[in-house]
Amino acid sequence: MKFISWNVNGFRAVLGKGFREIFSSLDADFFALQETKMKEGQADFSPEGYYAYYAYANRPGYSGTAIFAKKQALSVSFGIEGKHTDEGRVITLEYDSFYLVNAYVPNAQDELKRIDYRMEFEEDMRKYLLTLSERKSVIYCGDLNVAHEEIDIKNARANVGKAGFSYEERGKMSELLAAGFADSFRELYPERVKYSWWSYRFHARENNAGWRLDYFIISRDLLDKKYEAEIHNEIMGSDHCPVEFDIEL
């Protein structure tokens, strides 16, 4: 079973940059998007054989998530147990043996102006994922907006304390992993350096001066299954690249 997650930085924009061909070539069972910046029906994309699930912000052209799934979900929910619904950041699909949670985690912003909300979101998300994991395995994916360790960012020393590499955000990721979850990519590749986001400034992608912000976080019980994880930094179209998770379920 193949899962893809990609922050497309505007779904309508990436459709003009070869998204249809990328979507077809990756041939995922589940294709999760973040930062779609649109409402359902505002993009000309209806892939045959997929069910489409959209969450969108009250504010036009902002945030938003979507999932294209080959199998219809048993249930669908938005936000985190009734909270965090106004920015379209979270979609949960339920299936027989697992929950798929797609999230676009809030950016703490310059000078950590939104760190308090970010911490509230992280607390609520961890509790939510733990509740789900009591029932079924959890696959939590998306742009989680944090480079967890120094290996996950090119210029660690220069970015300590900044949004995406603050002690607070990194600490919340550590708490989540300690609570019974695993970073699928890092579990397989503890020393591999690969990034999923690059600034549009200073030729960052050309110089591979990136950050690993996009993840598949899984319940630790899934580590017993045969699985693979990949970061497709060869795929263009956004300031992020797709990340992949494959597992036999």
Catalytic annotation present for 140: no
> Which residue in the list 104, 140, 195, 227 is annotated as catalytic?
104
> Which residue in the list 50, 95, 143, 227 is annotated as catalytic?
143
Angstrom distance (rounded) from CA 15 to CA 13: 5
Q: Is 199 helix (H, G, I), strand (E, B) or coil?
A: coil
Neighbours of 249 (CB within 10 A): 14
CB contact burial 73-108 (16+ within 10 A = b; e otherwise): beeebbbbeeebbebbbbbbbbbeebbbbbbbbbbb
Catalytic annotation present for 214: no
Angstrom distance (rounded) from CA 104 to CA 87: 9
Active site residues: 104, 143
